[in-house]
């Protein structure tokens, strides 16, 4: 059994997804995610800007964010979003224990701002989701930022006469 298969089912069970739902969406997720990528989160979600557009299922791995949509009338599955985490920008999320939900927003590489709301059955799960999202997004950004700062520092140390470009 590969890493994706070993981590997908426990992550889906953690959020209380039915086996039928997971089985229905699994072929689409399999096409998008590699066998060596571990699942962080699988959850049912909705889009606040389009409440009647159908049901969404969000899959977050260490490398990708995949969202599938099931239409309301014919129950057809379609891929809504499939992107690497490094291609997302302006990623924000806000936990709300009063409504037992977490709102996740990110700008995809094509410039479209995506917003999803993940509802949880228990208020404690809101903070667990917050921790998972923090692990997936914030810890991934810090090492890259530190490397860029170190590189800029090294350039200025080795080239003291180097001046920044004038602003236009």
Q: What is the pLDDT of residues 52-68, one digit of tens each?
A: 667 899 999 999 999 99
pLDDT for residue 15: 86
Q: Which is nearest to 118 in space by CA: 63, 73, 71, 65?
A: 65
* Domain extent at residue 125: 3-154
Assigned domain for 163 exists: no
pLDDT band per the 50, 70, 90 thresholds, residue 139: low
Is residue 48 a part of any domain in this protein?
Answer: yes
162 domain-assigned:
no
Considering the entire predicted model, what is its pTM?
0.78
| 159 in a structural domain | no
Domain of 84, CATH number, reads 2.30.29.30
Phi, psi of 143, deg, nearest 5:
-60, -40
DSSP assigned state of 87: G
pLDDT digits (tens, 9 = 90+) for 98-131: 999 999 999 999 999 999 999 998 888 999 999 9
Measured CA to CA, the distance from residue 38 to residue 14 in angstroms comes to: 15
Determine which of 35-39, 42-46, 154-158, 161-165 has the lowest per-residue pLDDT on average. Answer: 154-158
Q: Are 69 and 56 in contact (CB under 8 A)?
A: yes
Number of domain units in the chain: 1
Residue 127 domain flag: yes
């Amino acid at each position: 059994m590969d890493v994706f298969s070993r981590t997908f089912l426990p992550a889906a069970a953690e959020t209380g997804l039915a086996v039928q739902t997971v089985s229905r969406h699994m072929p689409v997720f399999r096409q998008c995610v590699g066998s060596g990528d571990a699942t962080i989160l699988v959850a049912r979600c909705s889009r606040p800007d389009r409440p009647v557009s159908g049901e969404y299922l969000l899959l977050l791995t260490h490398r990708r964010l995949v969202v599938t949509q099931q239409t309301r009338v014919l129950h057809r599955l379609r891929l809504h979003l499939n992107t690497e985490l490094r291609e997302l920008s302006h990623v924000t999320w806000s936990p709300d224990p009063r409504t037992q939900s977490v709102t996740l927003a990110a700008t995809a590489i094509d410039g479209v701002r995506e917003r999803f709301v993940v509802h949880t059955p228990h208020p404690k799960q809101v903070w667990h989701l917050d921790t998972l999202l923090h692990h997936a997004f914030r810890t991934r950004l810090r090492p890259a930022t530190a490397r860029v700062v170190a590189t800029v520092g090294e350039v200025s140390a080795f080239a003291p006469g180097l001046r920044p470009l004038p602003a236009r």
